[in-house]
């Protein structure tokens, strides 16, 4: 596969979507490559139904929840992510399989190994080239949320502390893939650190295309999926 696959991970309200938009804008301008923005759960039509059940449905037991996230991911990879990578696109996803290991493995206290195995089955072992973790103390969650909390966001302080720790543990195991950033830093500092990590993989300088940068709302050559679709 000739594309580049980058995931953004972190707790709710850590600023992943903003950072993803900045990176998408910059990659498109600096390289002219096709950039595909997507997200989990719900980056596909089937996924939107699963997302509704997962985030806004009635109570679901932990194993069912893990299987539904894995089903969303399997379809997302098969129908959208893998074809885009095969076309040579740069694919940026707001959450991917590490969210399952952290939330269902850590937060819900299923076995992290089993949840990872399930996700690797779902994706046929497709892992991101880079994963950016926006690490935020869950104590900051209430100030950052701008919408009514969903089923996962309502899960409680200890759940979110376990989830955060699971992300950090996982990142420490594979520093080659992970870039861990303190999400309380400024948007521009975080964007610059992300560009610095990704630029060598694109064969460009982190400063490439910077003079032309504008607001990350609309980007030529960028397939925008995200906010409006959720
Ligand atoms: P979303 O509104 O996309 O949250 P955010 O803006 O924080 O990314 O909701 C996704 C929720 O689903 C979020 O609380 C994390 C959770 N989640 C899991 O528990 N497991 C998973 O595998 C994924 C992808 C998300």
Helix locations, the chain, DSSP H: 16-31, 45-56, 62-76, 82-87, 97-100, 112-123, 141-144, 157-173, 187-202
75-92 tens-digit pLDDT: 999 999 999 999 999 999
Compare 165 and 146 and report the one with higher pLDDT. Answer: 165
Protein residue whose Cα sits closest to atom 14 of ligand 1: 152
Confidence class for position 224, pLDDT limits 50, 70, 90: very low
Q: Is 99 in the pocket of ligand 1 (CB under 6 A)?
A: yes
CA-angle at 2, arms to 24 and 178, nearest 5°: 55
Q: Mind listing the domains of the chain with CATH numbers?
A: 4-210 (3.40.50.300)
- Whether the predicted pLDDT of 212 surpasses 80: no
Q: Is there a contact between 96 and 115 (Cβ–Cβ < 8 Å)?
A: no
Collapsed DSSP state (helix, strand, coil) of residue 86: helix
- Pocket test of ligand 1: the residue of 77, 95, 119, 131 to mutate, having most ligand atoms within 8 Å of its CB, is 95
pTM for the whole structure: 0.91
pLDDT of 151 reads 81
Confidence class for position 40, pLDDT limits 50, 70, 90: very high
Q: Given the CA of residue 95, which atom of ligand 1 is nearest to it? A: 24
Mean pLDDT of 194-199: 98
Q: Is 5 in the pocket of ligand 1 (CB under 6 A)?
A: no
- Tell me how far apart the alpha carbons of residues 157 and 155 are, in angstroms, rounded to a whole number: 7
Encoded tokens for 172: 């420490």
Q: Is 47 in the pocket of ligand 1 (CB under 6 A)?
A: no
Q: Is 65 in the pocket of ligand 1 (CB under 6 A)?
A: no
């Amino acid at each position: 596969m000739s594309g580049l696959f980058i995931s953004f991970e972190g707790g709710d309200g850590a600023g992943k979507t903003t950072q993803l938009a900045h990176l998408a804008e910059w990659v498109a301008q600096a390289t002219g490559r096709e950039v595909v923005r997507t997200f989990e759960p719900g980056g596909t039509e089937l996924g939107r139904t699963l997302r509704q059940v997962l985030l806004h449905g009635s109570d679901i037991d932990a194993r069912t929840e893990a299987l539904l996230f894995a089903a969303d991911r399997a379809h997302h990879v098969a129908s959208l992510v893998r074809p885009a990578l095969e076309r040579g696109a740069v694919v940026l996803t707001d959450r991917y399989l590490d969210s399952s290991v952290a939330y269902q493995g850590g937060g819900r206290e299923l076995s992290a190994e089993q949840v990872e195995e399930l996700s690797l089955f779902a994706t046929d072992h497709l892992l991101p080239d880079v994963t950016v973790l926006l690490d935020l103390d869950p104590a900051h969650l209430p100030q950052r949320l701008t919408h009514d909390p969903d089923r996962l966001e309502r899960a409680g302080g200890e759940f979110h502390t376990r989830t955060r720790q699971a992300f950090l543990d996982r990142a420490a195991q594979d520093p080659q893939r992970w870039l861990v950033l303190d999400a309380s830093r400024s948007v521009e500092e975080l964007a610059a650190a992300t560009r610095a990590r990704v630029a060598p993989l694109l064969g460009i300088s982190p400063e490439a295309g910077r003079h032309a940068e504008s607001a990350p709302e609309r980007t030529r050559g960028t397939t925008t999926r995200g906010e409006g679709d959720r």
